[in-house]
């Protein structure tokens, strides 16, 4: 990402708010159950969130042949101890399913090795993918999640002067940072578990690409916003989301 670690923290929070607002209607979208500071045994001081994602219309056709429309109602818990974060997603319909995303953010160009400290056994089965925000995908999940059509080879930020992103931009941009994500998915279901795992991994990859393209594409919207301002906007967004989807308002708090 062509930004500093401090800038990315604001960019990511702004992006989450805006994408949630864009994807939420009276029947689908994001419901925020909790958003509060937490002293965690593992992460220490962090921001804890609990959300429900109602994604019925995005279910692939093969899944709807044997599962009801609400099979893509997901429950998410997240611990944000930036620059370290963890997200756990579960599905009430598939009770054995779980998807975990552990993220470490570093001020580098994506060349750090074994950032998550995996064992030799884990490294042997790990699959590494490099996601370049200057690229674009056209697969099913990219279509389902939504596609930022901005061409970063012609994009230049008005407020920061950053861009365009041409071949090899990661080695030339200053500042630059990388989000290292460790995704673990478990769907122990005979007959379709592997297909479900692969579909969800593809969905996560498309979401990572789209969300981070938006982080940079919206840089002139969020650049200069303070942490206090973004927290206030986040609380307003949580209230608006729950009102839009017709759910009770939940008290949300934050600390810096």
Tell me if the bond preceding 173 is cis, omega within 30° of 0.
no
Does residue 249 have a pLDDT over 60? no
Q: Which two tokens stand for residue 130?
A: 């490099």
Q: Mean pLDDT, the chain, as a whole number?
A: 89
Per DSSP, 151 falls in state -
Among residues 205, 206, 207, 185, which one has the least CA distance to residue 196?
A: 185
Unique residue bearing structure tokens 């008005």: 158
| pLDDT 10s digits, 33-84 | 999 999 999 999 999 999 999 877 776 676 667 677 677 789 999 999 999 9
Does residue 251 have a pLDDT over 60? no
Domain boundaries along the sequence of the chain: 5-245
Q: What is the CATH number of domain 5-245?
A: 3.30.530.20
Find all residues with CB under 8 Å of 108, minimum gap 6, and list them: 176, 177, 178
Q: Give pTM, 2 decimals.
A: 0.90
Does residue 255 have a pLDDT over 60? no
| pLDDT 10s digits, 150-201 | 899 999 999 999 999 999 999 999 999 999 999 999 988 888 888 888 888 8
Return the pLDDT at 50: 97
Find all residues with CB under 8 Å of 4, minimum gap 6, and list them: 107, 175, 177
Does residue 231 have a pLDDT over 80? yes
Residue 20's pLDDT band (cuts 50, 70, 90): very high
CA–CA separation, 207 and 211 (whole Å): 6
Does residue 250 have a pLDDT over 60? no
Find all residues with CB under 8 Å of 94, minimum gap 6, and list them: 71, 187, 189, 196
Task: Taking residues 87-102, report their average pLDDT.
Answer: 93
Return the pLDDT at 71: 74
Among residues 197, 215, 149, which one has the least CA distance to residue 10?
A: 215
CA–CA separation, 216 and 1 (whole Å): 7
């Amino acid at each position: 990402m062509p930004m500093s670690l401090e800038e990315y923290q604001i960019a990511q929070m702004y992006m989450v708010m805006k994408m949630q607002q864009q994807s939420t209607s009276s029947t689908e979208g994001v419901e925020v159950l909790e958003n509060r500071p937490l002293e965690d045994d593992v992460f220490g001081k962090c921001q804890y969130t609990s959300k429900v994602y109602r994604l019925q219309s995005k279910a692939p056709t093969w899944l709807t042949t044997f599962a009801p429309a609400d099979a893509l109602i997901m429950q998410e818990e997240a611990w944000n101890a930036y620059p370290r974060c963890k997200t756990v997603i579960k599905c009430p319909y598939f009770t054995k399913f779980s998807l975990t995303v552990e993220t470490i953010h570093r001020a580098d160009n994506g060349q750090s090795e074994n950032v998550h400290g995996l064992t030799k056994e884990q490294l042997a089965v790990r699959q590494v993918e490099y996601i370049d925000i200057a690229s674009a995908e056209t697969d099913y999940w990219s279509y389902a999640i939504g596609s930022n059509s901005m061409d970063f080879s012609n994009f230049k930020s008005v407020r920061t002067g950053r861009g365009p992103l041409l071949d090899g931009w990661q080695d030339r941009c200053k500042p630059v940072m990388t989000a290292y994500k460790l995704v673990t998915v478990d769907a122990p279901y005979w007959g379709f578990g592997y297909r479900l795992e692969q579909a969800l991994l593809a969905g996560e990859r498309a979401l990572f690409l789209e969300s981070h393209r938006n982080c940079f594409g919206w840089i002139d919207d969020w650049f200069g916003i303070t942490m206090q301002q973004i927290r206030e906007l986040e609380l307003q967004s949580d209230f608006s989301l729950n009102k839009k989807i017709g759910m009770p308002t939940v008290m949300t708090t934050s600390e810096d």
